[in-house]
Amino acid sequence: MNGTPQQRVTAGRALLEQVWNENPIFRQVLGICSALAVTNLVFNTTLMCLGLIWTTTMSSLTVSLLRTITPKRIRIMVQILIVAVYVIVVDIVFRAFFFETHSQIAAYVGLIITNCIVLGRLEAFANKNKPFPATMDGLGAGLGYSAILMAVAVVREVLGFGTLLKGTAWAVQVLPLSENAVWWRQWTIMVMPPGAFFVLAMAVWAAKAWAMRRDGERAAAATGGAS
């Protein structure tokens, strides 16, 4: 903010930066692709987010641990290999324990490998920082991504299906089915990928507006104090 060269980042700082100030979706607008595809059911989104948190955290840790012995020339290859390994682990675990959900989200789980957030954090942070801050940075990026995705998923599932946690034992009907109510029609668009564009865009808008107002107030307070 104040233009000084980058300082050593503490672990807690790295985590918070990723969750909020540098939120991958709001501030960096990364990883939007999977945000569009899997967010129409809260349960599917939860699994997807857990997969991403695991991948960003573990690959940041591994890349950081190997950073002093990895030749610079092949570092991207090594990073992709590491990410791919953790994603395959996610795929195998989901296949074994969440068989039916896995069949719906398998394609997107595989795509975590190419998720810009993961490689972005590895190149920008894990590559040049110690393991603990790197792990926290990866965890923060995963949590920051998940917070937004979960919010989008709740809106989409409630408006699109009228339910919450559909497909699980805890499913609740929040809004009635179109067949049973005269005052409510399900928003089919929320079920389809374009629905995510609208919800996500509005969420980014709201968050940016809020952050800008806050920054403006701080700036005003700073100048006010100086005079």
Partner 1 sequence: MMAQAKKSPTYVLLYAAVVSTLFTAGIMALHAATRDIVERNERLFEQKAIVELFGLGDVETLSDTEIVELYENRAYLFDDVVDPETGQSHKVYVAVDEKNHLIGYAFSVSGTGFWARIDGYMAVTPDLNKVMGITFLQHQETPGLGGRITERTWRQKFVGLNVSPNPDGQFIYIGGQAPQADSPRASRHVDAISGATGTITALDRFLNEQIPMFRRLEEELLSKHVTKIPF
For partner 1, the binding residues (CB under 8 A) are 40-41, 44, 66, 69-74, 77-78, 81-82, 85, 88-89, 92-93, 95-97, 99-100, 103-104, 107, 160-161, 188, 191-192
Alpha-carbon gap, residue 14 to 2, rounded angstroms: 18
Q: How far is the CB of 189 from partner 1 (least distance, A)?
A: 10
Q: How far is the CB of 99 from partner 1 (least distance, A)?
A: 4
CB nearer to partner 1: pick between 23 and 40: 40
Crossing angle (nearest 10°) for helices 116-124 and 131-160: 160
Number of H helices, E strands in the chain: 9, 2
Q: Spell out where the chain has E strands.
A: 163-164, 172-173
CB nearer to partner 1: pick between 29 and 88: 88
Token digits for 204?
């980014």
Cα dihedral sign, 108-113-119-125? positive
CB 199 within 8 A of CB 187: no
CB nearer to partner 1: pick between 25 and 159: 159
What count of Cα atoms within 13 Å lies in the side-chain half-sphere of residue 135? 7
CB nearer to partner 1: pick between 66 and 174: 66
Q: How far is the CB of 48 from partner 1 (least distance, A)?
A: 13
CB nearer to partner 1: pick between 147 and 191: 191
CB nearer to partner 1: pick between 24 and 51: 51
At 152, which amino acid appears? V
Backbone angles phi, psi at 216, to 5 degrees: -60, -45
Contacts of 8 (CB under 8 A, 6+ apart): none
Place of tokens 């991403």: 52
Q: How far is the CB of 81 from partner 1 (least distance, A)?
A: 6
Q: How far is the CB of 210 from partner 1 (least distance, A)?
A: 31
Q: How far is the CB of 97 from partner 1 (least distance, A)?
A: 8
Backbone angles phi, psi at 10, to 5 degrees: -80, 165
